[in-house]
Structure 1
Amino acid sequence: MRFKATTRVKAGAAVAVAVAVALALAAAGLGGSEGDDEPVGVAKAASTLGPGEGMLNLLALPGSIESGGTDPRVDWVTPFQERTGCKVGLKAVKTPEEMAGLMRDADRRYDGVAAPPEVAGRLVAENQVAPVNTDLVDGYKKLEPKLRGLLRRNGKTYGVPYVWSANLLMYDTRAVPPPSGWSALFDPAQARRYSGRIVMRDSPLAIAEAALYLKGRDRKLKIRDPYSLTPAQLAAAGRVLTRQRPHVEEYWERPADAVSAFAGGRAVLGQAGPYQVDVLNRASRPVQGVLPSEGVTGWMDAWMIGARVQHPNCMYQWLQWTASPDVQQQVAEWTGVAPANPQACSGDRLKPGFCAAYHVGDRDYLEKIVFAHAPTKACDAKAKKNDCTDYAEWTRTWIESTKL
């Protein structure tokens, strides 16, 4: 979920270069090369340039795209339309699951989607998105290297990084001694000390933090990747969450809810991100965010090209536009997350305080983050073993552990 930041946002001033691309599809009747060993229907990466088609149909969560409707000062759509001639149509979805369902619908043809990690990996696996020819996205190499590698599969790139963040352990310094790790939240004896004053994010992917806790506490489970869990490992994480549940005040969906809980004194410890820490600190609230000793998770949203794209040339212009420093600056300030392009912090774009708070360009910080990916049955993609659990199983475990 995203929350609108309250800082003043500059008008979009990026200059879009008229780069356009023709996307060949291997589906019947849409072309394809002879002798290709990929399944029929798999979209291919663009290889040529062409004029814009005048339209662009996008899919995103609320707040990911702004055209001045919420705040006239926040608009990176209108300048894009004026410079490219590509009129943007947006379908805003309420949940990642709704997004995934629409991208799977064969009767719908979205040119692009701003996909969170629980959606992105599944779209790649299900051939619902096309590879991206990054040579045709001006400025792509300016994006953070680690982020660029997150959506590479078999030598192909399936997304252009948009924004990112880490999942921190946040605490009120007046009520909680500096916690060293996730045990402060998940160890029953420690969680009991702050019973009724703990908040957690409401997402199946939050299971990964419980897995990190178990990785250090119970080595017999042999957890390596907190997002690739066997049935036994997932069940163990579910038990951790079930034992924690009586002590949780709130499972928050909107980042603003976590801010309110800490600001009002209802919470003193919980899962949060740099956004909540920054907002509360600017409001003179005594909170801090820490990287737990067992490790820290994070997430990245990326722009992806739909496999049934109708306006590929306009879509490539959009990829280039949203990767540019000026647009990245607007997106970061509005959504309260880190831009994928560190150049958003150069010149007079983002304020130094913002860039420091969100660790923009801090590659040592980025290397400490285990970025989320959609859980799948395959524990080891190279070995093609199906010994792990998928996102549906994670969702079921999350509901059983935190809601029932």
Structure 2
Amino acid sequence: MRRTATARAKAARVTAARVRAAAALAAAAAIAAAGLAACSEDEDEPVGAARVASTLGPGEGVVNLVTLPGSIESGSTDPRVDWVTPFQERTGCKVALKVAKTPEEMAALMRDEDRRYDGVAAPPEVAGRLIAEKRVAPVNTDLVDGYKKLEPKLRGLLERDGKQYGIPYVWGSNLLMYDTRTVPPPSSWAAVFDPDQARRHSGKITMRDSPLAIAEAALYLKGSERKLKIRDPYSLTPEQLAAAGRVLAGQRPHVGEYWDDPADAVSAFAGGRAALGQAWPYQVDVLNRAGRPVRGAVPAEGVTGWMDAWMIGARVQHPNCMYQWLQWTASPDVQQQVAEWAGVAPANPQACSGDRLRPVFCAAYRVGDRAYLSKVIFAHAPSKACGRKSKDDDCTDYAEWTKVWVGATRPESVNPSAKP
């Protein structure tokens, strides 16, 4: 059932934490090997190496999950939107939910040795670090009915050394949205990053507020500054990251708003405060349905994207219920509800089959469009190693990205005495 405008705006607000930038990254906790404590209830059990489950038994009666706001709906926001209660009634597994306010809080919860969570709906800036720190266990995809129905490219994003560490949940891409009345169709990220071009719409540019948005500046530099030799916009050397930071600092005077709440970008375009900027298909869809003259463009350099995935905690206590939850959330009927409510693309394209999602929704979010998906550069957590398969440790990590992002977009927070 479609949401009212008020409910949709509220849902957009609660999903804001997905892209909220942390002011700084706390020092990483000491990394300890994590173990799969399959059915034990003993909190003092020694922790061993994480391993993949081979078989499943009866549900344990509860499943402890960590999410960001808006990732799960149990009817508390809107009684018509509830994919938790049917799961509990069908499986006997009660969902116990811990909502983290930010990705950094989510990562901290999964690192906390005094807590044991069965699963986490991790965004890209969290997922890669949890894998590297052995805070999540490999998934036996043979135990997840419907896994092979999920988009192939999405399934491969969390594969490491032949093991799968997550079940795709939802995804989206980062477009250039523009007001067709005042802005010619942009063909390049230069429209917002090149100083001369950005100046044409100064004050009416809106950008996403996240350290991962540095990747769009890196895409721009990949084409305009070839001597930097940028290959992966999420794996940047110190020199490349510094160059992206300079681009963002030069762009800052022309940016009217940095949005962390998707509804803010909708409001900015609807109210005429913005005419050009970064957006998801969600904002384009909402504004188009409201009759606003906006479009989403795919720049020549390409677009970045993100995927949230369900991952199993390395110290999981209720693996049987967790696997049942993985199956449930991957099913097309649940994927339909998640996509409609949160304004995201479902990982299971079967959500667009039959009488589920409307064709116009699926077209707007590019569901099942594998030609488009093949060109999306999906985000991963920046790390010292230059890429998943690289052994070179001369790249920059998420803490360094956060520092550069804050310095470029909020220089007053770095130098409190700086004049506005």
TM-score by length of 2: 0.88
**Cα deviation per residue 1:289-338 (whole Å; 9 max; x = unaligned)?**
01110111000000000011110000000000000000000000011000
Question: For 1:208-287, what aligned pairs fall within 5 Å after superposition?
Answer: 208-287=215-294
- Aligned partner (choices 353, 366, 370) of residue 373 of structure 2: 366
Q: Report if the CA contact (8 A) 2:37-2:316 is conserved.
A: no
Q: Is 1:5–2:12 an aligned residue pair?
A: no
Q: Report if the CA contact (8 A) 1:5-1:333 is conserved.
A: no
Q: Aligned AA for 1:394?
A: W
Match of 1:178 in 2: 185
3-state SS of 2:64 partner: strand
3-state SS of 1:127 partner: coil
Match of 1:378 in 2: 385
Q: Aligned AA for 2:255?
A: V
1-structure distance, mates of 2:35, 2:65: 22
3-state SS of 2:310 partner: strand
2-structure distance, mates of 1:130, 1:110: 12
2-structure distance, mates of 1:26, 1:308: 6
Question: For 1:95-106, what aligned pairs fall within 5 Å after superposition?
Answer: 95-106=102-113
**Cα deviation per residue 1:100-155 (whole Å; 9 max; x = unaligned)?**
01000011101000000000000000000000000000000000000000000000
1-structure distance, mates of 2:333, 2:304: 27
Q: Report if the CA contact (8 A) 1:338-1:359 is conserved.
A: yes
1-structure distance, mates of 2:119, 2:381: 19
Match of 1:401 in 2: 408
2-structure distance, mates of 1:294, 1:343: 30
Alpha-carbon distance change, 71 to 28 in structure 1, aligned in 2, over 3 angstroms: closer
3-state SS of 1:285 partner: coil
The offset of 1:41, in angstroms, is 2.9
2-structure distance, mates of 1:316, 1:376: 29
Match of 2:15 in 1: none
Q: Aligned AA for 1:242?
A: A
Q: Report if the CA contact (8 A) 1:60-1:92 is conserved.
A: yes
3-state SS of 1:393 partner: helix
Q: Which consecutive residues of structure 2, in runs of 5 or more, have no partner in the other structure?
A: 1-5, 11-32, 40-46, 412-420
Q: Report if the CA contact (8 A) 1:4-1:335 is conserved.
A: no
Match of 1:340 in 2: 347
Match of 1:166 in 2: 173
TM-score by length of 1: 0.91
**Cα deviation per residue 1:165-190 (whole Å; 9 max; x = unaligned)?**
00000000001001101000000000
Q: Report if the CA contact (8 A) 2:345-2:365 is conserved.
A: yes
Q: Aligned AA for 2:8?
A: A
Q: Which consecutive residues of structure 1, in runs of 5 or more, have no partner in the other structure?
A: 8-24, 32-39
Give identity over the alignment, percent: 80
2-structure distance, mates of 1:376, 1:270: 27
1-structure distance, mates of 2:94, 2:184: 53
**Cα deviation per residue 1:326-385 (whole Å; 9 max; x = unaligned)?**
000000001100000000001111011100100110000101100000000001444411
1-structure distance, mates of 2:48, 2:399: 25
Aligned pair count?
Answer: 378
- Aligned partner (choices 93, 101, 116) of residue 94 of structure 1: 101
2-structure distance, mates of 1:252, 1:380: 28
Q: Is 1:318–2:325 an aligned residue pair?
A: yes
Q: Aligned AA for 1:5?
A: R
Q: Report if the CA contact (8 A) 2:63-2:94 is conserved.
A: yes
Q: Report if the CA contact (8 A) 1:6-1:334 is conserved.
A: no
Q: Is 1:355–2:362 an aligned residue pair?
A: yes
Structure 1 moving runs of 4+ over 2 Å: 3-7, 25-31, 380-383
Match of 1:79 in 2: 86
Match of 1:130 in 2: 137
- Aligned partner (choices 392, 397, 413) of residue 390 of structure 1: 397
Q: Report if the CA contact (8 A) 2:38-2:318 is conserved.
A: no
3-state SS of 2:8 partner: coil
Alpha-carbon distance change, 280 to 384 in structure 1, aligned in 2, over 3 angstroms: same
Match of 1:145 in 2: 152
